Amino acid sequence: MLDIFRGDAFGVVPLTLAINNLKFVPGYVSSRGLFSTSSIATTAFSIEEKNNTLTLVRPTPRGGPGQTQDRGRRSMRMLSVPHFEINDAVMAEEVQGVRPFGQEDGTEQVMTKVAERMAQAGQSLEYTQEYSRVGAIKGVITYADGTKLDLFNEYNLPVPPNIDMNLDFAGTPDGSLRLKCAGIVRTMGANLDGISFTGVEALCGDAFFDAFIKHPEVRQTYLNYQAAAELRQGYVDAGGLVWASFPFGGILWTNYRGNVGTTPMIETNMAYLYPIGVPDLFSTVFAPADYIETVNTMGKPRYVKQYPMPNDKGINLDVQMNALNFCTKPLALQRAILT
């Protein structure tokens, strides 16, 4: 088996290319194309905060000139790119009999087994990426070990207040809900400091979304024109990535589908709102892996490395991701609550 695994097909570069080409099932946030991606050759980078905007500072050579900064910047912080790694193995027994001894004919079959392992690990990393990106929309990125990156606290920015949408209203529709939506859009525009945006979206928890679609003003709006069919549709969205989604008040309201164990990623009584169409509003930075081959190289979304066990009974597989997701304009983020 080791004759196969020591071939060129099992080097860190071919394996990395293979896992980066695997078709994962992405989450809703990742599928929206909200995050611009970039790569760095280091494991940490600087972010400047100025005028409520976080700007990535490019690395410069040691001893050389640095990046010119405008005067009046408020703060500069170093952020580390978190490291996520999954360890697995392919045992010799699992690929027993796939090739004649001493021949390389079984490479394809063994690669199939390796691909299965990579797919499993890759899905976990993709899920981790989605969870981090949901956190970036909230402004607070939480990791599986309980640690957090609070962008508001990190840069001494005020946390946006929870907006009570008054969804328990049961009287005659009076336009108050639409006015609340308009206020959210205007606040975002003001906090973007003149930067244009094309719309607003909201990720809603279950209870918040259920109360929203029951609101008399929402029902009246949809009953009065042909989109009333929306009220009769099945609850599960056709794409399967969210439970349901519909526009109201200039905002696309989406019932987010996703849990960490039994805990929903979006709290049941909350909605998190963000503008769309803003260049580089959300960013993902990839750093290099912690291998000799990848030192000082530009980071890639995924890495895979294999190496033999000391007793030659199998091959160890490492699958890793080094990625930081964050929002560059945290003050543009808003929160609504069901009370």
User: What pLDDT was estimated at residue 261?
Assistant: 83
Does the pLDDT value for residue 22 go beyond 50?
no
Does the pLDDT value for residue 223 go beyond 50?
yes
Q: Which amino acid is at 157?
A: L
**How far from the centroid of its chain's Cα atoms is residue 332's Cα?**
18
pLDDT digits (tens, 9 = 90+) for 66-108: 444 444 445 667 788 999 998 888 877 776 665 544 444 555 4
The strand pairing partners of 273, in sequence order, are: 202, 334
Does the pLDDT value for residue 269 go beyond 60?
yes
pLDDT digits (tens, 9 = 90+) for 150-181: 999 888 889 999 999 999 988 888 999 999 99
User: What pLDDT was estimated at residue 221?
Assistant: 83
Q: How many CA atoms lie within 13 A of 67 on its CB side?
A: 13
In angstroms, rounded to a whole number, what is the distance separating the alpha carbons of residues 207 and 270?
8
Tell me which fold the domain 2-62+73-149+281-330 belongs to. putative capsid protein of prophage fold (3.15.30)
- Please name which of 10, 58, 65, 27 lies closest in space to residue 285, comparing C-alpha atoms: 58
User: What pLDDT was estimated at residue 9?
Assistant: 46
User: What pLDDT was estimated at residue 91?
Assistant: 79
DSSP count for the chain of H helices, then E strands: 8, 18
Domain ranges across the chain: 2-62+73-149+281-330, 162-279
The answer to whether 208 and 268 have CB atoms below 8 angstroms apart is: yes
Q: Which amino acid is at 263?
A: T
